[in-house]
Amino acid sequence: MVAMLSSLGQKSAAVRKGLVRGVFLLLVVYATTVIVLLALEDRFVFRPFTSAERWQAPSSDCDFQDEFITMEGATIHVRWFPCPGSNGVALFCHSQNANLSICRPAASVKKWHQETGLSVLFFDYPGYGRSSGTPSETSCYQAAETAYNWLVDKQEIAPAEIVVVGRSLGTAVAVELASRRPHRAIVLVSPFTSIPDVAQTRFPFLPAWLMRNRFDSLSRVGHCTGPTLIVHGTKDAKTPYCLAKQLFDAAPEPRKFLTVCGAGHGDAVLCNFFPELRRCLQVHTRPTGQ
């Protein structure tokens, strides 16, 4: 009997030891995974296409001007599409995996001219397209500021005539710029509250709060003084619809949320976009500062 109890005790101890070892190994694997993902974070957040990798010539039906502007640590490429009789400018902040030649609005500059009467300025973040340098959260913000200053200083565009437009990652860049600089309106296509929030909704088992890149639009959108138009698809698997609604709730009036039923991340700008944008610009034309 004693021998049996001793044997059972030894087996129980061995099971406990095996469980402890298994839990320890799982923790090691989990911690290693987190460390590797954090080390590779920039590769997930920034996916630049350089001009050598992918580049498209602009449409021949629109005049344009290329400029290269020096900023701290990089030279930024901007492309200017003036609209005859323009009533303002759309400053585009593109998404994470693009450059100014292949971002979606670049294929429809003429439509932007016809539908809105706005001139258009595209720019590339450091490391994207023909811009030098390395992309980071700070350098993306600096690139947007550089493009904005070029409009004001070189093209003599009044700040109250600048419509700041962002798509996907570019929405956070647009919000950061508009939270500090005067503007006519801000247009956000497929936005989100912050990068850690996006990561947490997609990978709830990972500690997204450890991420270095924040792109925290939620804490900044309340400082945007112009009217806000948010456009988002209900089937967006990349930047969840619920985060766009949360960002909208934090935005000051006047504001408009355009829901695109059934649209995914790349399909949010559909037939209702330009009518809503025109309505926004026509109804809310008050200056937001000089």
* Mean of pLDDT values over 78-93: 94
| pLDDT for residue 269 | 62
Q: Which two tokens stand for residue 52?
A: 């050598």
| pLDDT for residue 26 | 83
* Mean of pLDDT values over 44-51: 93
Q: Which residues are registered as beta bridge partners of 164? A: 91, 186
Q: What's the first-to-final CA gap in the chain, in angstroms?
A: 92
pLDDT tens-place string over residues 65-77: 999 999 999 999 9
> What one-character-per-residue DSSP string does 125-145 give?
-TTSBT--S---HHHHHHHHH
| pLDDT for residue 288 | 44
* Mean of pLDDT values over 161-188: 97
Report which of residues 282 and 274 the model is more confident about: 274
* 49-283, CATH topology level: Rossmann fold (3.40.50)
User: CB under 8 Å, gap of 24 or more: what pairs does 63-69 form?
Assistant: 64/109, 67/150, 67/154, 68/130, 69/146, 69/147, 69/150
Which residues lie below 8 Å from residue 289, measured CB to CB, with a gap of 6+? 159, 160, 182, 225
Would the pTM count as exceeding 0.85? yes
pLDDT tens-place string over residues 107-121: 789 889 999 999 999
pLDDT at 290 > cutoff 90: no
pLDDT at 8 > cutoff 70: no
pLDDT at 3 > cutoff 70: no
Domain ranges of the chain: 1-39, 49-283
| pLDDT for residue 138 | 98
Place of tokens 């996916």: 47
